[in-house]
Amino acid sequence: MAYWRFAQLYSGHRLCYWCSERMQVIDTLLELARSMDADVLVLADGEVPSLEKGGRSQPLSMPRMDHELIESILVSVTDQQGRQVLRERGRFETTYTSAETTFFVQITQSETVQRLVFRRRDAQTSRTAGRELAGPTSGPRRVATSDEPPVRPLHSPSAFDEVLAWAHAHDASDIVLSGDSTFVRTGREFRHMNDVVNASDEVDALLRDADPDTRAEFERTGSVDFAYQRPMNAGSRRYRVNVFRHANGLGAVLRPIKQQRPTLDALNLSEDLYKLGSYQSGLVLVTGPAGSGKSTTLAAIVDYLNRNTGKHIITLEDPIEYVYERDRALVHQREIGVHVQNFPSGLRAALREAPDVILLGEMRDPETIATALVAAETGHLVLATLHASSATRAVERIVGVFPGDQQGYVRTQLSGVLRAALAQWLLPSPRHAGRVPACELLVVNTAVAAKIREGRVHQLQTEIEKGKLEGMISLEQSLAELVRRGAISRTTATEMTHERNLLRAQPT
């Protein structure tokens, strides 16, 4: 009924442009949004109206909006002062009530396009009041607030939304809330965001939005990880969040999760690394320091398997980051603390669920590592991340977490199941807005397996340097190639290398 009413109004809106009927156009559209239980209605010049629900956008089967109709809706939801602010600033924010439901309205205007985003707020009555939304110049600026308190979890637009939007536009890797300050990391640098956000209030809000088990873990341990989805005017965005206590109160780090599942090419990594997902069984490690892109690289490999193989893939993640839609493969994603109690119990359960590939978000403790080795021994391919400073150190770390009397057996077991270890680092680039990866790849052949089994891990670096024909990559080779392409500076390569003499020997 709502759709039919809109069609009637749309076809006749030119005849009633200056009559009360123009207000029914937007009311009918908002009625349609409510009937479909949508969170957001998006209207723009020359575009088909679209609804958003649960972070997904759905265009409606309707004609494109023309400028005259958009202008009539704009007149319906703003006053003269608001339209003046819109002309001067290009952005304006207000509220609009339709059928006792209040919507936050964000309006943007460029030379050719006007865009209105209506975001539903669960409230029976609300005073319609305009708020000026000043866009960032050198960085985000504080949003002037009205006397209406913010409503969660639908999040009325705030200064923090502007910080997140700025971080997204600049491909930031982390947003840090600490005390009364907010910082954004781009490349290796943290940018202070001029205290536009009350960081303590936002951390409190993050905890309020979390589920009871997450809050209980935070109270028990003083820190907690969880996935977080925040509605924004460009659509919902997902973050991996860590909230923690520190000497001056509460802090939080939000790491953006890109909405598009990555490819190795988009990550500036060789597509040859897709071969790491081609083993029928065994263990493949991706290592590196925190924030080096380990999970993202594995996500690219899993997405490749999903698109190109008919395998059954089970992921164990803390929390779930990239969401894989059904393609050729069958993918089941399980989150620690939500779908399974912990990594070891989730891994043991996965072995009974007929998987071909198991993605293990992180190997943290002896029990998880021991179970992963058994899974790799019993005919499954296990893809896992591990915090280690190099590919060879990853081997040392796995063996070193076990008591001395067990290490001989673990070395033998590891030598039989390890297929490859990829280490990666993200380095600042003069040519790229973000960072570019350098990598080191150890491929396990007969000589490497023997050295692992016999405890001669210190000799693995030599095997990497000799193994170029078998696909191995030394860090020095990777750095030299990046210098040759102009992706990093020679100074950065020199600071990063294991062996300066080996780097100098590489052709650049």
Looking at residues 16-24, what average pLDDT do you find?
A: 42
**Contact in structure between 231 and 219 (CB atoms under 8 Å):** no
Residue 42 identity (one-letter amino acid) = V
DSSP 175-190: EEEETTEEEEEETTEE
User: Whats the size of the chain, residue-wise?
Assistant: 508
For residue 26, pLDDT over 90 is answered with no
Distance (Å, whole) CA 240 – CA 250: 17
Distance (Å, whole) CA 474 – CA 497: 10
Nearest CA to 430 among 488, 384, 365, 498? 488
| pLDDT tens digits, one per residue of 282-329 | 999 999 988 788 999 999 999 999 999 999 999 998 878 888 888 999
Tell me if 164-257 shares its fold with 271-473: no
| pLDDT tens digits, one per residue of 103-119 | 888 898 877 678 899 98
Class of domain 271-473: alpha beta
Distance (Å, whole) CA 329 – CA 307: 7
What's the CATH number of domain 164-257, 2.40.50.140, 3.30.70.1890, 3.30.830.10, 3.30.450.90?
Answer: 3.30.450.90
Residue 278 identity (one-letter amino acid) = S
Distance (Å, whole) CA 106 – CA 114: 11
**Contact in structure between 190 and 184 (CB atoms under 8 Å):** yes
For residue 136, pLDDT over 60 is answered with no
Name the least confident of 108-117, 146-155, 281-290, 426-435: 146-155
Question: What is the residue extent of each domain of the chain?
Answer: 2-133, 164-257, 271-473
Nearest CA to 209 among 179, 235, 181, 243? 243
| pLDDT tens digits, one per residue of 387-424 | 998 999 999 999 999 999 999 999 999 999 999 999 99
Bridge partners (DSSP) of residue 58 are: 51
Mean per-residue pLDDT over the chain, rounded: 81
* Ranges assigned E (strand) in 110-258: 114-121, 174-178, 181-186, 189-192, 223-230, 237-246, 249-257
Between 445 and 266, the more confident residue is: 445
User: Tokens 């923690």 — which residue?
Assistant: 244
% pLDDT > 90, the chain? 39
pTM over the 0.85 mark: no
% pLDDT > 70, the chain? 83
Class of domain 2-133: alpha beta
| pLDDT tens digits, one per residue of 188-229 | 678 888 766 778 888 988 998 888 888 898 999 999 988 888
